[in-house]
Amino acid sequence: MAAIAAKLGMSKQAERPDADDRTLFWLDTYWLAARGRPHTHGIPLPLPPLDIIDLIEKLELPAESDEAVAVICAMDDAWIRWKDSQQKKPSKAKVAH
């Protein structure tokens, strides 16, 4: 694992930030929703709002559907922007010295 982490530039482990229960709830819910993320040609697509609603209802999570869609979609939009920015950076393998 250390070799993989070093290859990914993650050799220094970051400490988990302090978070309240509500923040942890949304992080965990996002993690669950993202496991069903659709992809096309290897590109991650946004999480479908109806999938978020189904997740909330089927798991009987303590959130209203409209709140869940708003929060999870905002988190997903931020993740997609981050992912896009990472793909635009030149990789170390592509840069020859």
pLDDT per position as a tens digit, 7-65: 666 666 667 678 889 999 999 999 999 999 998 887 889 999 999 999 999 999 999 99
Instruction: Compute the average pLDDT of residues 85-90.
Output: 79
User: Is 54 in a helix, a strand, or coil?
Assistant: helix
Residue 87: pLDDT band (50, 70, 90) is: confident
For residue 69, what are the domain limits? 19-36+43-88
**Is 14 inside any structural domain?**
no
Residue 94 pLDDT greater than 60, yes or no: no
Instruction: Compute the average pLDDT of residues 77-93.
Output: 82
Residue 1: pLDDT band (50, 70, 90) is: low
Please give the Cα distance from 87 to 72 (Å, whole number).
22
**Is 3 inside any structural domain?**
no
Tokens of 4: 């993989």
The domain tally of the chain equals 1
CA dihedral angle for residue 80, residue 21, residue 28, residue 68, rounded to 10 degrees? -70
The pLDDT of residue 67: 96
**Is 96 inside any structural domain?**
no
For the whole prediction, is pTM greater than 0.95?
A: no
